Structure 1
Amino acid sequence: MTGPATVGRNEGALLADIGGSNARFAWLMPQGHLCHVRTLAVAAYPGVVEAVRSYLATLPAELGGAGAAPRCAALAVACAVEGDKVELTNSSWCFSQRALCEALGLQRLRVLNDFEALALSLPRLQGHQLRSHAAELPRPQGTLAVIGPGTGLGVAGVVQTAQGWQALPGEGGHATLAPADAFESELLAHVRRDLSHVSAERLLSGMGLPRLHRAVAAVHGQVAAELGAEALVEAALAGSDVLCVRTLESFCALLGGFAGNVALTLGARGGVYIGGGIVPRLGDFFFRSQFRQRFEAKGRFESYLQAIPTALITDTLAALGGAAVALEPSAAHKPA
């Protein structure tokens, strides 16, 4: 939808961050703060309209109650956004932007890629929303990048311009994953037996962790237990399964190399941020891993990468904040 997507003085707006597994909703108050955040399982609803209506039905009286009908909304979705039809990459949800406006009675709607929204949030993130690899946090200047393993793998950037911060959406998670040593070459060779193209998302995501686990086991001449991503991470953090630990170590190392590639490609000298639902769960394991070492290990450009700060986004509402930024007057000229 086009047109200025601003929030009126006496009205709120609907915000959503919709991934492959979960849809997080919030209400944007006229004063600019978020409230009434709720997370709904995507699989529990046939589509976005039903999920939105379920969320709106829970709004308290001070926000309009169960009969609330927002005039303005911003939806961050885990897929490329082009044209009226929106099809989620890793779920069955799809919708028409025009039909969604009609079904919900919206006058203004902004639909953007979920990592585009997360990128828009980066310049406003504060220290309590981040955990850095160094003593100093990234400074919001120049070009910033964000990558995030969740159900899939999101990648985006944001660049500082004379008109403000401009998001750079993309589908970098589907770029080819590159090995950095002989062990990783064996891992990828094993995965290529089943997949003609091994993208970063195929291993560096919730969907990819079980596949990475099987590949690590195969390279070590073992057979991996059938574990989902959550169980695998829990076993690795508990130290109860050596193969799970090795898998998570490989995950962090590969993610570091991929993040370094993104930094070089975008020239993200202002900083590279890690979002998504997986890495924040890893805690100290992530910061003890080879992520940062592999991020910097780019031969002649090692010093270039050493100067780029990296930080973990610990605030799970950051993408919703970015969706709110997309509704501001300065963003009204951008296509929606």
Structure 2
Amino acid sequence: MSAGFPWLVADIGGSNARFGWVAAAGAVVEHVQVLAVADHAGPAAAARAYLAALAQRLGAAYAAPHGAAFAVATALDGGDRVELTNGHWSFSRDAVQGELGLDVLLVLNDFEALALSLPRLHGHQLRRWPGPAEAAPDAVLAVIGPGTGLGVAGVVRAAHGWLALPGEGGHATLAPADAFESELLNHVRRDYEHVSAERLLSGIGLPLLHRAVVAVQGASAEPLSAEAIVEQGLAGVDPLAVRTLDAFCALLGGFAGNVALTLGARGGVYIGGGIVPRLGERFFASRFRERFEAKGRFRGYLQAIPTLLITDTMAALDGAAQAIEQHGA
């Protein structure tokens, strides 16, 4: 069943829910608003708050949405019940659709939506790591994103558009590449039987990575939040926070290279999420790209794959709109 306009789109993470509006066919996502997940009981309540504010803003031009696509930060099994991996929201798809009076409600993984946005991203939404030439336009694309958690997805050209390949790659085992990283992971394994990539390469993981760096360095330091680690590391005022960011970027590069090899992402690996864009020049001066390519006999394969930072934090909303558009095609 296709949905008439307007459409409501949302990108729902563990900390924030971003809502946007698609007024008509071919229209861009507009009237974007970010709501704190902690401030609302669930997606229906947050959507009602967004729509009430939008109705007040648009006045007579407002119309209730007919369709919606919610991109959510969790694994989906096709069932009615949805529970956020790193948030308190738990909801029924059918109940939310009924509460909002929607003809169609799509619920998709947040990185599935971000992957669908990749072929539509433009230069002003990206910052490219200097290096390889432009890749073929129809090659497989991959995206990783350290935010509250760590998302991974791919997208491939299909007969009727682009097909997203959602997964839970952030929970794959994290691999060290040198003695220092082996010591870091050995320290973390004292408390966690399985050290996934998300365990260290995410907003929830940065404090744990910092604690491991402190321990391996034989130092003592007060625990820091992810926010404080980024701020103090970028300012250069705390050598241990600086070392933590260095380790974060290097480990992320090795992980991104693994994703590129696994998916055959010759079209490029994109980096999304809320953490890396904040690192700015420090990210581009880090060992990320060095470690991305450091795969032995497949160094040449990876050297030809571009890596691009997504600077537009609202890109997943466009992917959600793409999902509902393809649903009605």
User: Could you tell me the TM-score, scaled by structure 1's length?
Assistant: 0.94
AA of the residue aligned to 1:24: R
Q: Is the 8 A contact 1:143 1:267 kept in 2?
A: yes
Alignment partner, residue 314 of structure 2: 317
Deviation at 1:331, TM superposition (A): 3.5
The root-mean-square deviation of aligned C-alpha atoms, in Å, is 1.6
Q: Which moved more, 1:155-164 or 1:298-307?
A: 155-164
Determine if the alignment matches structure 1 residue 88 to structure 2 residue 88: no
Cα distance, 1:153 vs. partner?
0.2
1:16 maps to 2:13: no
Question: Which of 12, 20, 23 is matched with 1:26 structurally?
Answer: 20
Shift in CA distance, 138/274, structure 1 to aligned 2, threshold 3 Å:
farther
- Tell me the equivalent position of 1:141: 138
Q: Distance in 2 between matches of 1:134 and 1:123?
A: 20
Aligned to 1:202: 199
Residue deviations 1:271-314 (CA, integer Å, cap 9, x gap): 00000000000000000000000000000000000000000000
* Structure 1 range deviating more: 183-192 or 53-62: 53-62
Aligned partners of 1:227 and 1:198: how far apart in 2?
A: 20
The one-letter code matched in structure 1 to 2:41 is P
With over 3 angstroms needed to count, the CA separation of the structure-2 counterparts of 1:139 and 1:40, relative to structure 1, is farther
Aligned match for 2:52, one of 41, 57, 61 = 57
Give the Cα separation in 2 of the matches to 1:85 and 1:301.
Answer: 42
Q: Is the 8 A contact 1:59 1:68 kept in 2?
A: no
Q: Are 2:154 and 1:157 aligned?
A: yes
Unaligned runs of 5+ in 2: none
Aligned partner of 1:105 among 96, 101, 107:
101
Identical aligned pairs, as a percentage? 68
Per-residue Cα deviation, 1:149-199 (whole angstroms, up to 9, x for no partner): 000000000011222210000000000000000100000000000000000
State the distance in 1 between where 2:196 and 2:289 align: 21
Q: Is contact 1:57–1:67 with CA below 8 Å preserved after alignment?
A: no
Contact 1:138/1:311 (<8 A) preserved: no
Which residue of structure 1 lines up, in the alignment, with residue 243 of structure 2? Answer: 246
**Cα separation, partners in 2 of 1:331 and 1:102, compared to 1, 3 Å:** closer
Partners of 2:14 and 2:137 lie apart in 1 by 29
Greater CA deviation, 198-207 or 41-50? 41-50
SS in 1 for 2:54: coil
How big is the shift at 1:118? 0.2
Is 1:38–2:33 an aligned residue pair?
yes
- Where do 4+ consecutive residues of structure 1 move more than 6 Å? none
Matches of 1:119 and 1:164 in 2, distance apart? 13
SS at 1:227 equivalent: coil
User: How far is 1:316 from its partner?
Assistant: 1.1
Aligned to 2:209: 212
How far did residue 224 of structure 1 move? 3.0
